[in-house]
C-alpha cells in the first residue's frame, strides 16, 4: 500500500493561465482525488448589475470573459430583449451570428495553440497563433476591437458592417482555412500528439451527462447537445449539426474543437452572402419587467443568462452560469486515476476560464 501525499497544484502554476487551486491526492504517481478551491478572482459582477443602467451593463457583460466576449454581450442583450419583447432587425441577427462564429473560431484556435504548448509542442503553438491572427484582423476590421468586439447592444448591434467589407471576408476566410489544414493535420496524425492525448483523461458518456458537462467536453464524450440548435439569432436559418466524438479522452475533445472550427467556416459561408439589407438597431424605450433565461453556445459550452427586472432602469437580479463552472465537476472526475504529469493537459482540455467561472 503506497503512501498518500497531497500535492498543491496552483493557483500560480506555469501551465495555468488563470488561478484555480487543486489539491491532488497522489498515490505513487497516480491522482486518486482532486479537491478544487476557488475564489481568487471573484469580481462581484452580479451585484454590479443592480447598480448600473441595464443598457450600460452590456459593457460589463462583454467583459466577463476576454476570449468569448462577444457571445457574453450577445447573451445578455438577448435575455433583456426577450424580457422586453423586442424583435430585433434581421440584419442585426445575421451579423450577430457572424460575429458569434468568428468568436468561436478564434477561441478554439487559441485553445488548440495552448494545448500544443501544454504538452511541450512549442512549434504547433506558434503555428496556430499565427493563423489566428488573420481571424483577429477580420474581427478588428468589422467590429473595431480585436477580442472585445464592443458590438452588442440591447435592440440590435452598435455598428453596421459595410457590404463591401462583408463581400471581402469569404476570400480572407478561404486563405485562413488553407493555412490551417496542414497544422490541424499534425494534430490529427502526429505520433507524439497522440501519445500525449489518446486515452488520457477519459470521461464516459454517462459521467459526462450525469455531471452536467457542457460544450466540447460533453460532445467529446459522445453526447450530441449543441445549444445553437435552439435557433437563437439567425441559427434557425443556417445548418448546424452537433460535432460529436465518442472516445471521451483529451484527443476527442481536441478533435471536436478542430472540427468545430471547420464547421464555423461552413456556417460563415452560409451567413455572409445572406446578410439582408436594412437597419441594424431599434429604439429601446422603457425598462425590463419580468424574467428570462437565455441559453447560448459559447466556444467553451453552454452559457446561461438569467435576468430579472421590475420596470426599473436597474435589474433586480442578474445571473450568469459560464461553461467553465459547469465543466469543473467533470474535470474532477477526469483527473481521478490519471498520471500526475498529465494533470496540466487534462485541466487545459476543458478550456478553463476561471475568471468567467467566478464572475
Partner 1 sequence: MTKHPLKMTKVALENLFQKPATVPYPAVRKPVYAATRGRIAIEEAKCILCLICDKKCPTGAIKVDRPGKTWAIDRLLCIQCGYCVEVCPKKCLGMENLYSPPVSAKAMDVVNVPFTPPPPKPKPPPASATPAATPAPEAGKE
> What minimum distance in Å lies between the beta carbon of 262 and partner 1?
18
- The nearer residue to partner 1, 190 or 266, going by C-beta atoms, is 190
- Pair 260, 108: CB distance under 8 Å: yes
Q: How far is the CB of 164 from partner 1 (least distance, A)?
A: 12
Nearer to partner 1, 35 or 167 (CB): 167
Which C-beta is closer to partner 1: that of 144 or that of 273?
A: 144
Burial pattern 325-341, b for ≥16 Cβ within 10 A else e, equals bbbbebbbbbbeebeee
Contact code string over 149-178 relative to partner 1, x by CB under 8 A: -x--x----xxx------------------
Q: How far is the CB of 314 from partner 1 (least distance, A)?
A: 14
What is the distance between the alpha carbons of residues 293 and 257, in angstroms, rounded to a whole number?
26
Tell me 52's DSSP state.
S
User: Should residue 141 be labelled a site residue for partner 1 when binding is judged by CB under 8 A?
Assistant: yes
In the complex with partner 1, which residue's Cβ is closer, 3 or 283? Answer: 283
- The verdict on 145 binding partner 1 (CB under 8 A) reads yes
The residue among 60 and 225 lying less far from partner 1, judged by its C-beta, is 60
Q: For 283, left (φ over 0), alpha (ψ -120 to 50), or beta?
A: beta
Torsion of CA 133, 135, 137, 138, to 10 degrees: 170
Kindly tell me which of 14 and 283 has the beta carbon lying closer to partner 1.
283
Closest CA to 105 of 132, 83, 80: 132
Looking at the DSSP assignment, which residues form a beta bridge with residue 125? none
Closest approach, Cβ 256 to partner 1, in A, equals 18
Give the sign of the dihedral formed by CA 249, CA 250, CA 256, CA 262. Answer: negative
Residue 128 Cβ, how far from partner 1 at the closest point, in Å? Answer: 11
43-102 residues near partner 1, rule: CB under 8 A: 52, 56, 59-60, 63
| 142 contacts partner 1 (rule: CB under 8 A) | yes
CA 194, CA 328: separation in Å to the nearest integer?
A: 24
- Does residue 194 interact with partner 1 by CB under 8 A? yes
How many residues are recorded in the chain?
Answer: 359
Q: What stretches of the chain adopt beta strand conformation (E)?
A: 4-9, 21-27, 30-37, 152-153, 156-157, 289-298, 301-310, 317-321
- The stretch among 119-127, 214-222, 253-261, 332-340 that binds partner 1 (CB under 8 A) is 119-127
Binding site for partner 1 (CB under 8 A): 52, 56, 59-60, 63, 123-124, 126-127, 130, 133, 140-145, 148, 150, 153, 158-160, 182-183, 185-186, 189-191, 194, 280-281, 283
Amino acid at each position: 500500500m503506497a503512501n498518500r501525499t497531497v500535492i498543491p497544484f496552483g493557483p500560480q502554476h506555469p501551465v495555468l493561465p488563470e488561478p484555480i487551486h487543486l489539491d491532488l491526492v497522489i498515490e505513487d504517481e497516480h491522482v486518486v482525488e482532486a479537491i478544487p478551491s476557488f475564489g481568487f478572482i471573484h469580481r462581484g459582477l452580479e451585484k454590479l448589475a443592480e447598480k448600473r443602467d441595464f443598457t450600460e451593463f452590456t459593457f460589463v457583460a462583454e467583459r466577463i470573459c476576454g476570449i468569448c466576449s462577444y457571445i457574453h454581450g450577445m447573451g445578455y442583450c438577448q435575455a433583456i430583449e426577450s424580457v422586453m419583447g423586442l424583435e430585433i432587425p434581421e440584419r442585426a441577427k445575421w451579423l450577430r451570428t457572424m460575429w458569434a462564429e468568428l468568436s468561436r473560431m478564434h477561441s478554439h484556435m487559441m485553445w488548440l495553440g495552448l494545448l500544443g504548448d501544454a504538452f511541450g509542442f512549442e512549434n504547433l503553438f506558434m503555428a496556430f497563433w499565427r493563423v489566428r491572427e488573420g481571424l483577429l484582423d477580420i474581427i478588428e476590421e468589422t467590429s473595431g476591437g480585436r477580442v472585445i468586439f464592443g458590438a452588442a447592444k440591447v435592440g440590435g448591434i452598435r455598428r453596421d458592417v459595410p457590404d463591401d467589407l462583408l463581400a471581402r471576408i469569404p476570400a480572407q476566410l478561404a486563405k485562413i482555412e488553407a493555412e490551417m489544414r496542414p497544422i490541424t493535420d499534425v494534430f490529427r496524425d502526429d505520433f507524439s500528439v497522440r501519445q500525449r492525448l489518446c486515452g488520457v483523461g477519459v470521461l464516459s458518456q454517462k459521467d459526462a451527462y450525469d455531471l452536467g458537462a457542457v460544450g466540447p467536453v460533453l460532445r467529446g464524450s459522445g453526447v450530441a447537445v449543441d445549444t445553437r440548435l435552439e435557433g437563437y439569432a439567425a441559427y434557425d436559418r443556417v445548418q448546424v449539426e452537433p460535432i460529436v466524438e465518442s472516445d471521451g479522452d483529451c484527443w476527442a475533445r481536441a478533435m471536436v474543437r478542430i472540427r468545430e472550427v471547420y464547421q464555423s467556416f461552413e456556417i460563415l459561408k452560409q451567413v455572409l452572402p445572406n446578410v439582408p439589407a436594412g437597419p441594424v438597431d431599434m429604439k429601446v424605450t422603457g425598462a425590463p419587467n419580468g424574467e428570462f433565461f437565455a441559453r447560448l453556445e459559447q466556444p467553451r459550452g453552454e452559457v446561461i443568462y438569467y435576468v430579472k427586472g421590475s420596470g426599473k432602469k436597474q435589474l433586480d437580479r442578474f445571473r450568469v452560469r459560464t461553461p467553465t463552472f459547469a465543466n469543473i465537476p467533470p474535470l474532477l472526475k477526469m483527473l481521478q486515476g490519471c498520471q500526475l504529469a498529465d494533470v496540466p493537459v487534462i485541466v487545459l482540455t476543458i478550456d478553463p476560464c476561471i475568471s468567467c467561472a467566478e464572475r
